[in-house]
Structures are given as structure tokens and as C-alpha cells.
Structure 1
């Protein structure tokens, strides 16, 4: 193909204690049109990040396309990109992973290939972990892990009654900064708690939505990163006290609430948050010829 259109979903990661392990795709999409040209690089960006992201070889989608093309042996003399971004940047909704997955999928599409396990490996290597990338690539709920240097992912279908609500604040957050707030070691009891609750979260999201509240409990990372988004963590605590399955989405500061009715409890102060219901995306990245 000489040109393709890519539609890639946002994602939420961690879902409580599933740190760097659990991810889920959400129905909010970036779109990229990629076209092979004779030489050079042309990039236009509309929507989130327009005017802020580079429009040269440093552009994330362009870098992902070139890396993937090299890996699969597809020659790319020149490239034209048109990006329309709906996923807000630096909010914990997987915008960078979506950009990487869009680039990898575009490279595969231009080469006339279907994405495969190597596509996940390429995308996850950009991020350093596979939770967001696997969710955007595969859709649904993903459980991710590593085997040596190999990234792996298992896709599961969330229960149809799971209705995510996103509380998106105006401020942004840096994954690099929030990771620096994490300790090198955690108490054994907290590690055991995280293992149990991560397993429970998978059961709750796929089969037993009545267990979403205990399944999204965390003692592994959120409290350590409170300094990065104190208002978001206050909202998580207040919502959980009212029985809502709330957690920080990815590196924050967005809060995700896994509901069964699309409603939030009354009386919780959510000033400063844009509340949006986003469905679970079940398709993952989609590639079509133009």
C-alpha cells in the first residue's frame, strides 16, 4: 500500500494494583494517515498536541513508523503524516503508547502485513512496558508480562456491564516524574496484597463486576505518587469511601471509575475534573487503505 489510515484507541493502565501489568482500551481515538512519498518527511498535527509536538524526525509516530519499517524490512523513501489527536497528552490515557502503536500499525499496513507478536514487541520497547501499548494494539483488557527481554500480552473480554468513567483534570503529569517517586522496595505484605488484588481485578472486570471495588484496591504505587497529583488521589479516596471503584489511570492525573451504571456517587467534590464516560474499546488498532 502507498497510504493507510490508522485509528488507535486510548488506554488506561494499572487499574489499581496491576502496576505495569493491566491495561484496558478506551473508546477515544487518535487517527493517523500515513503516505509513502519519494523523499523527505511532511507532518501535520491537529487536535491534542498541535503546536507542541515536533513536526520533524522527532515526532513519535514518525519514529515508530521508521523503526518498524526497518524491523520488518520495508523500504520507506519518504513519509507524509496527517495526525488528528483526540487523546489528551500527559493525562494518563496512553497518548504516547497510542502514537507508537499507530506508527507500528501504519508500517505494517504500508508493507501489506497484519500486526503480529513482533508488533507488540516493537511498541512495548518504546514504552519500557507493555500495558498501554498492548491495550491499544489488541483492544479489551490485557494482562502483560515479560519473559526475559520479550514482552507478552493476553487479551481478555471485559464484562459488558463494565462502564468506565474518566475524571480528566486540566493539569498534566509526567510518567518520568511519577516513576521517580516510587520506592525501590515495598513491604512484603504490600506485594502480596497487590498480587491478590491484581488477580481479583481480572476476575472482577471480566466476570464479576460486583467485585470491582476490592479488585481495584492498591497499596503498591498510588500513595507513593500523591505529590504528583494530590487532588486526583483525594478524589480516588472520596469515591472509594462511597463505594465507587476508583483508581488513578496510568501515571495520572486522570481518575478512572469502573461503574456498572455510568453514575458517580453523590456528594463527592469533583471540581476541576471533566467527567466523561468512555466505552471499552474491543477492537484495538484498526488499519485501512486510503
Structure 2
């Protein structure tokens, strides 16, 4: 389903000349037994396109009473059980577990990528990030694509695309999504990592990176497919903003996650 986000040269394994020695993927999850298996299958395919590079998969199962943790373990992921009901805290806990498993590595050679349990990454998701890392970028901030609009009124898709496009200028964009973010462990540690926020931890991290003068690439060339489900996990996050598209009210309206980056606040937006 997400293969269309990759070019032909991205779809097979190849040699990546990168200083990165290992990759860690962190997925926060709360009651995600239905969608997590597809997410992990897509991540497994992306990992297979990194020959010679160790890939660590960590699922932070946050207050889960369903089979989320069991399914993650069955897929080979390291499972971190937390009871926070907080996406920022879960993402932080998962990243901490990853860092503890890779203490033998120079933080400059560990790439941390994060996505969400209701998201499908394309096969080239990790390989493209590492190519940017080799070019000197310390963080890569990608975009999201929504393909399933069956639960929304006909006008919602067009309204979403219009507002999302308003935050783009060529290959640059103003959006930030925890579902599509990667950075070196050195950069992550330098700014204190993910904040324990119920939503917006992704925006807060990227803002800290940019304020610290880290090399942050915002690019539409790295994209993922995420759900438009009606039961979003993060309060005030991406799912709630999609639900707001149902309104037919006219006139200008603020949509924090679809507006320009300068309008973001550390405690707003994000998704899970």
C-alpha cells in the first residue's frame, strides 16, 4: 500500500555508504492490536533494505490491555511496557530502551527513527533517511499521506489536501509528525529527547533541534501512509484535526498541524 512512495531505485536492497552503524525504530502503541501487525510488517520490509546495518525495533506498549504487547513480541520487537497514557512519555521510554541496548555505539552512528502503530512506512523509508544522514543531515522530518477517506464526507479529502499543501514550498514543508521522523542519537541526546507531553512531543523535539542549530531536513521525499481513523489516540492530535475537516464552515480557520510551522506550539498537535 505504501510502495508507491518509493521510486524504482529505492525498492531493492543496495549498498548504503553511511557512517550509521545501527538503526533503532521506536513505535509507541496504545491498544493497537488491530493495526500494529501491518505497521511492523512494513517496518520489517524497510529494515531488509539495509544490508549490513543492525536494526532494532522497539514498541512502547502504553497502558495496553489487548494483545498489542504480545503481537509486538511475536514480530521480534523489544517490548517496553509502560502505563502512562501519554504519547510523549511512551516515545521517550521506547527511545531510552533503545539507547540502553546500544551503549557500545557512538551516538553519532546510531540513527533513531520513529513512527506510529497506525502507519505504514514504504520500503525505502529507512534507506532514504540514511542517505540524507550520509549527506550530513542530523534529522529528517517527513510528511504523511492519507489514502482511506471512506469514513469522511466527500469534501474532507480536498480540504485536507488544500491545507496540507499550504505548508509546503517545493520539497520543503512546515509539518512535523511523530509518525515520520528520524535523527541521530547524538542530536537527540543533545536537546534532551522527547518531552513527556500528551501530544506535541514531536513538534517540541524538532523545535529544540532547530533552536540548537542542528541540521534538520524537512522534506516531502520521505513520506508515510497514516490512518484517518475516527478513534485517534493523542488528544488534540492529527486524528482530531482530521475530524475537524467535517465542518462545512467557511472562512479562514486555524488547523495547527496543517498550518505553517511558525504557528506551532510545543504543547499542540502531534499524533498517535
TM-score of the aligned structures, taking structure 2 as reference length: 0.31
Pick the structure with greater CA Rg.
1
The higher-RCO structure (CA 8 Å, 6+ apart) is 1
Of Structure 1 and Structure 2, the greater strand share is in 1
